[in-house]
A and B are shown apart, each in its own frame.
With several copies, the nearest count.
Chain A
Amino acid sequence: MDDLARAVEAALFAAEEPMSADALSAFLGDAAPGEVRDALHALAAHYEDRGIRLVERGKRWHFETAPDLAHLLRREKEQLRRLSRAATEVLAIIAYHEPVSRAEIESIRGVQTSGGTLDVLMEAGWVKIAGRREVPGRPTIYATTPEFLEHFGLASRRDLPGLAELRATGLLDPVDDAYEDLMGEAPTETKADDGADEPESATDDSSLA
C-alpha cells in the first residue's frame, strides 16, 4: 500500500465531510490530483467487499458502512411496557363509547387527556382514527382496532361487561346510591349495544360528568 493511498485513506476517515479528489490533493499538500484519483479508485476497489466502502457521491468521496449490513447497525429492541393508568382509562373509554372524540373522552374522564396518550394507544395498535364527526369543528373520532380485541381476549366489544356488571363486582364503588335513583336508567344493555353504534350515547354520558 503506497503512502499516498494511506494518506488518502486516513484523511477521508478523519474528515468531517466528504472530500473531492481536488480537495484531498490540496489537503495532502503536493499530491497530484491524478494520483489522488488513482488512489481513491484503488481504495474503493479494496473496500468493495468489506464491511465499509469508499464511495463517490457527486464527485466527493467518503467512507460508509456497507448497505447490506444496515440491518445489523440499526437494531430494534423490543421493550415491554405496561400501559399507564391514564392511557388505560382512555383506552377503556374508547372501547366503551367508540367512536368518540377527544373532547368526549376528556369529558368522560373529567381530566384533560394529553395527545401523547392517544399516540401511545395508536402506536400500540389498539386505537385508530375512525374519521371525523360531522359537527362543527369536525373533531377526529377514535375507535378500537381488531388488534385491541385480540390483545384483550375479546370476541367483540359486546364482551365488555356492562355498567351493571361492573357495579356488581364493586368496580363502580364508590358510587352514590342516589345516582341510579336520580337517573332512573338501567344503563347496562343499552350501553353495550348503543356504545357501538351511537356516538350520541357517549355524548349523553359525558354530559353527566
Chain B
Amino acid sequence: MNEGLLFSDPPQSEADESWDGIASPTPASGKALYLELDGWEGPLDLLLDLARRQKVDLRSISILALVDQYLDYIEQAGALKLELAADYLVMAAWLAYLKSAMLLPKDEQEDPSPEELALKLQLRLQRLGAMRDAAARLMGGDRIGRDVFLRAAPEGLEIARKTLWQCDQYALIEAYGRVKARTAPAIHMVRERPVMTLESALDRVSHMLGVTLDWMELQDFLPPHAEPRLRKSALASSFVAALELARLGKAELQQDETFGPLHLRRASTNG
C-alpha cells in the first residue's frame, strides 16, 4: 500500500488521493480503476469502495453481494496477472468462507455464525466509512495557511530577563582565600629517610654468605631491629644484591613456590 508515500503524490492520478480531496473515492466507471490494488489502503478499503458503489446506506448493504463483488474483483485482477498482495488474498479466502457459510442451511452453522461475521464486517465498514467522511470534513475546515492566515510578521512579545546577581561577603572573602591558597607557591621538602643502599646491601649479604654453607632465608639478611621503613628499604636492596650475587656466580637462589620464601646460599663451586 502507499502508506509510506505520505505527502507524495499518489501513484495514480485520482484527485481524491490528495490532502484536500474528499476521502471516499467516487470513481468513474470503467475498468481503469480496477487495475491497481495500490489504489486501496488494504482489503477493507477496497470493500468499502465496493460497498459505496451499491449506493445504499452502509447499514443496509448486502454483504453477500459485496462478497461477490470482491471475489470477482480479485479474480479479475488475478486474470490480469496483477500481483495480489497477500492480505487481499487472505480477505478473499475469508470472504469465500463467509459466503459459503451464508449459503448453507442454518442448522449446520458453527460458532460464530456467518450472520455474526457478516454483521461485524458491515459494522467495520460503517466505522471506516464514518472516519473517512470525518477526515474529509476535517480537511475541509478553515485551515490555517489555506483558508485563514496568521499575522505574517508579528512583533513578538519580548520578555527581557534582567539578572540580579547575588553574592555575599563571606563568598567574596572565601574566594580570595581560595585564590591565594591555590596560587601560593608550594614548597616540597624531602626529609631524610633511613635507607639501605645497594652497596651496603651487597657488602652485608656477601659477608653473611661467607659465614655459612646452609640455605638462609632472605629475611635473615635484614638488620634485625630496623624500623619498618628501613626494613623495607633493606629488603629491596638485599633482594637486588642477592640477584646480583647470583649473576656473578657467587650465590645460589631457590624459591619453592611463587611468593614463597626466597632462600640463598653461597655458591658451592665458589666455596
Contacts and interface: CB of A to CB of B under 8 A. Distances in A.
Q: Do chains A and B touch in the complex (CB under 8 A)?
A: yes
A209 B145 contact: no
Given A153-B143, A166-B173, A175-B181, A86 B116 contact: no
Interface of A is mostly: mixed
Given A63-B150, A82-B167, A162-B134, A88 B177 contact: no
A96 B132 CA distance: 11
Contacts of A120: 6-7, 165
Contacts of A176: 120, 184-187
Contacts of A88: 19, 23, 135-136, 138-139, 167, 171-172, 175
Contacts of B217: none
B171 A83 contact: yes
Chain A interface size, as a band, is 35 or more
Contact of B165 (A16, A81, A110, A175): A81
Contacts of B41: 85-86, 89, 109-111
Interface centre among B131, B143, B153, B184 (most CB of A within 10 A): B131
A1 interface: no
Contact of A123 (B130, B165, B168): B165
Interface string B172-213: 111111111111111101000000000000000000000000
Given A64-B150, A171-B177, A179-B119, A111 B143 contact: no
A97 to B, nearest CB: 9
A123 B161 CA distance: 13
A208 B185 contact: yes
Interface centre among A15, A116, A151 (most CB of B within 10 A): A151
A95 interface: yes
B226 interface: no
Nearest to B59: A169
A77 B161 contact: yes
Contact of A15 (B152, B162, B176): B152
Interface in B1-39: 1-10, 16-21, 23
26 contacts: A15-B152, A15-B156, A64-B149, A77-B145, A81-B19, A81-B163, A82-B166, A83-B139, A85-B135, A89-B178, A108-B124, A108-B127, A110-B45, A110-B182, A111-B41, A153-B143, A162-B130, A162-B137, A173-B181, A176-B120, A176-B187, A182-B185, A208-B91, A208-B124, A209-B87, A209-B90
Interface of B: 1-10, 16-21, 23, 41-45, 87, 90-91, 94, 116, 119-121, 123-124, 126-128, 130-139, 141-169, 171-187, 189
